[in-house]
Amino acid sequence: MKVKKVLSIKRHKQFTKDFSHAKMSEKHFGKFIVYIAKLLQSEPLPPEALDHALEGNWSGFREFHISGDLLVIYMFDEQTLNLIRLGSHSELFS
């Protein structure tokens, strides 16, 4: 049996602020928890999450969608999942 390596998680200060202001439905909060659990176990996210690498100023970071316009920006650093930002496209990229 192969044992999965579980990563640690770090919430950056801005992510914590974003999260406290986010208006997430119970359904979207559930998706968020499932997606984070998958990332912590180094599992791929489902296609509906639209997980992809970012470019330009955000090169080196990744993004996934909780819903149409609710995104999480994150990155991996050694054995840590770093949660960087949470918000809409306009909040994060304007």
Among all residues, which ones are annotated catalytic?
89
Distances, alpha carbon 86 to alpha carbons 43, 54, 72, in Å: 21, 14, 5
Burial track 40-62 (b if 16+ CB lie within 10 A, e otherwise): beeeebeeebebeebeeebeebb
